[in-house]
Structure 1
Amino acid sequence: MNSTHRISLFLPAALVVALGADPGAARADTQWTFGGFGTLSAVHSTETQADYTASQIARGSAGYSRDWAFDVDSRLGAQLGAQFDKHWSAVAQVIEERAADAAYRPRVEWAYVKYQVTPELSVRAGRIALPLFLAADYRKASYALPWVRTPVELYILMPISNSDGVDASLRWNGWGTKQETQAIVGRSAMRLGGNVPGKSENVLGLTHTATVGALTLRGTVAQAHLKVDEARPYFDTFRAFGPAGRALAERYDFTSRRVYVLSAGFNYDPGRWFLMGEVGRVDTRALLGDQTGGYLSGGWRLGSVTPYVTYAQVENNMETSSPGVPAAGLPPAAARTAQQLNAGLNSWLASNAEQRTASAGMRWDFAPNYAFKLQLDRVRPHGGTSGTLTNVQPGYRIGHPFGVASVAIDFVF
């Protein structure tokens, strides 16, 4: 069964989840909408001792694993909507992209019911996009982006893109601007490091967007309770090494931690050109990192062609290495265990990326609803880390810059 057919079978079931009712109960005058989007891309990396990736979850294989990889950005999505009356509506969106186990399979990205209380106030319940960054609502639909992908240095900081819960949005006018305030409450499942299951509970977020003319400003503050039960044995082993081990476990244990997110961004787009930028900080207060990422990007529209440039950077606000448990003077078996713990600890700390990327690219809208994109990146990991690279091999050179070439066709229907 091909991917498109699987999605066509999966969408009705997803909409039933969103509606919470028998589809036969829908009113005869219900207005239905259907659409979709997709990306077919190929990516080449000059770093042959690791793989370039754009996501903590759907990790790509460009570089060490493949000379040209098609799994970094390629995906297919479809969306089904229903408008029942002036108050009630529902949306289900399914995306098929590379999963943590390297397989392609469909998953529900959105599935919610919306109630328009007043023209200014709306409430949604179900699976909803987390509005943490400017492109949160459309980051998977790359046709809406000027670039091949959202800047990795910022968007890779969040391993989740949606939440199961409730949100409320209030639109209002003030000080000559259009204002929108959104509050969200929910929970979400995730996979850390590609294969470690975890969950975020008690997700609380507040986002405010202001628009005046061609300028849009957005700020977000959010927090969540991160739980990763599979990490408990690892940190319990640290605690068995006495006060030094307990201090390390207290510092780095992410079995149960409160995570904080702050972000702010702007987009100025008068039509002929655009300038946009964001900065965000994700603090897990644990081994998973405390990082600040951001970017600045601008482009000029010359008919159907839009050349652009981007500079992006991510930095750590915490150490990227640790002496670990003192192994000197321990019995041989305990010393070997301590060395293994320390190696794992430092390997994870080094995976908390520090990286700078300068990019130049071009978008060509060669046909209605189709865009061809070419992007060249110069990536430099630093700070003793391997940046956002994955599958790092023994021959990898720390801090060595490398190039990435990406070509993509984005489409909507």
Structure 2
Amino acid sequence: MTSVQAQEADKPSGGAGLRFNGFGSLGLSHVDAPAGWGYRRELTQGGSDDSWRADVDTRLGVQMNYSLGSRFELVAQVIAKKRARYAIGSDAVEWAYASYRPDAAWTLRAGRVNLDVFLMADYRNVGYGFMTARPPVEFYAMLPTTLDGADVARSWQQGDAQWRAKLMFGSARIGDFESAKASRVRSVVGGMLSREEGGLLLRVSYAHTRIAIDHTDTQPALDGLAQLGGLPIPSVAEQALSLRRRLGADNGSGTFWELGLRHELADWQWSAEILRISADPLIVLTSAYATLGRRVGDWTPYIGYGLVRDAQGVLPLPAWQATLTPVIGPVGAAQAQGLGSAVTASLNASRFQQSGWAIGTRWDFHPQAALKLQWDRVRISNSGSGLWTGADGAPSHATIATAVVDFIF
């Protein structure tokens, strides 16, 4: 069930024809978190401090496959879900690509394709395709879903093992819900290698990219920090320029490493992933999760754990006012102090430093539908609440109780 959508997209039917299928989720969550904190399953999703939420997991998607013989296919997938402020109409189009298979081993795709650098790349939005109520937030919340570009994949058999290798390039939109405009990762060049045998899938992915940040919201702060960086006061100038770099003034490049495992043996199934994202000085983090479940009739009870650790340390609040007062006057010094404090607080609040346990069960009450009940206990470290909206960065705990019905048609 984990690859229904991908298989239909990658394997033309052999004759010309149009096929439609779809998927959806109807979810309701109760969130017990600090006042003002908004829970979300991905950064591009808006949060709110309402206790009861129906928009966290609810979504509806349709997919079209138009085959032009055995080699060519056109694929489009559209998903309706809650999105960020910067979202435009075309963001609802998750997939829109042309696929060509010169033979059984090779597949070439061009257009808007899934970013195939993690286990759930094919079915991240298809709740019916995975065991838990939602993909582990500590791992998947930061990752883009689509790549505007192209990829080429080759599959081959070696003994009882099925191998698959893929090369990809293009660009992707990234950003946080609070941003007025999305940024982009450009010149994405990556690869993936997987091996599957006896129900055990192992895969490794790597990608390198240039980061192009939209500075619409932060340009006034960048300009102010640049002016402070030009003052002949080393202690202030160095700290101001460091803050400016952390805001992404110089954009830069980043690398992504991922290792994933998934095993299905009789009634047992488990999966685990670990990733490392390095785009210093913007972000340097490590994230991982593991889930384990056992099928008992139509029920699959499961347990999972996820964590994310930000290697960028907590920034100390600047103490510039006393030093700057004799140089630029009390008013200017107060303004500079306010700017430095606000930027520091914002950067600290955007760090990702949390862990969480998930316990739940899945009930396959219909061949094309499943009910999931899940309880999450989340621990947020000091200055580590970047996965939440409206958070103040204070250390805290939260619980989320979820009921969701996933279906395909």
Alignment of 1:172-211 (within 5 A): 172-174=156-158, 176-195=160-179, 196-211=181-196
Aligned to 2:22: 36
Q: 1:405 aligns with which of 398, 401, 406?
A: 401
Moved more, 104-113 or 204-213: 104-113
Distance 1:67 1:311, change over 3 A: same
Q: 2:268 aligns with which of 273, 282, 303?
A: 273
Q: 2:63 aligns with which of 59, 63, 79?
A: 79
The alpha carbon displacement at 1:73 in A equals 1.0
Aligned to 1:342: 341
SS at match of 2:100: strand
Distance 1:347 1:246, change over 3 A: closer
> In 2, distance between residues paired with 1:115 and 1:325?
60
SS at match of 1:354: strand
Aligned to 1:296: 290
The alpha carbon displacement at 1:216 in A equals 0.1
Deviation digits for residues 156-188 of structure 1, max 9, x if unmatched?
122x21011110001123364211011111012
The alpha carbon displacement at 1:152 in A equals 0.4
Distance 1:254 1:177, change over 3 A: farther
Aligned to 2:301: 307
Moved more, 238-247 or 83-92: 238-247
Kept in 2: contact 1:277–1:297 (CA 8 A): yes
> In 2, distance between residues paired with 1:404 and 1:199?
31
> In 2, distance between residues paired with 1:322 and 1:213?
52
Which amino acid in 2 is paired with 1:148?
Answer: A
1:168 equivalent in alignment to 2:152:
yes
1:285 equivalent in alignment to 2:276:
no
Moved more, 195-204 or 213-222: 195-204
1:223 equivalent in alignment to 2:208:
yes
Q: 1:58 aligns with which of 19, 36, 45?
A: 45
Aligned to 1:381: 380
> In 2, distance between residues paired with 1:408 and 1:75?
11
The alpha carbon displacement at 1:232 in A equals 4.3
Aligned to 2:310: 316
Which amino acid in 2 is paired with 1:406?
Answer: T
SS at match of 1:137: coil
Moved more, 106-115 or 231-240: 231-240
Aligned to 2:6: none
Gaps of 5+ in 2: 1-8, 10-14, 230-236
SS at match of 2:223: helix
Runs of 4+ in structure 1 over 4 Å off: 102-106
> In 1, distance between residues paired with 2:68 and 2:301?
42
> In 2, distance between residues paired with 1:138 and 1:34?
16
Which amino acid in 1 is paired with 2:16?
Answer: T
SS at match of 1:385: strand
1:88 equivalent in alignment to 2:72:
yes
Aligned-residue Cα RMSD (Å) equals 2.3
Deviation digits for residues 79-126 of structure 1, max 9, x if unmatched?
000111111111000000001139997710000000102210110000
> In 2, distance between residues paired with 1:251 and 1:76?
37
> In 1, distance between residues paired with 2:87 and 2:102?
41
Kept in 1: contact 2:46–2:177 (CA 8 A): no
The two structures have a TM-score, normalised by structure 2, of 0.87
Kept in 1: contact 2:221–2:339 (CA 8 A): no
Kept in 1: contact 2:348–2:383 (CA 8 A): no
Q: 2:32 aligns with which of 32, 41, 46?
A: 46
The alpha carbon displacement at 1:377 in A equals 0.5
Distance 1:193 1:240, change over 3 A: farther
> In 2, distance between residues paired with 1:252 and 1:260?
18
Distance 1:67 1:334, change over 3 A: same
> In 2, distance between residues paired with 1:412 and 1:45?
27
Which amino acid in 2 is paired with 1:43?
Answer: S
SS at match of 1:286: coil
> In 2, distance between residues paired with 1:111 and 1:103?
17
The two structures have a TM-score, normalised by structure 1, of 0.86
SS at match of 2:43: coil
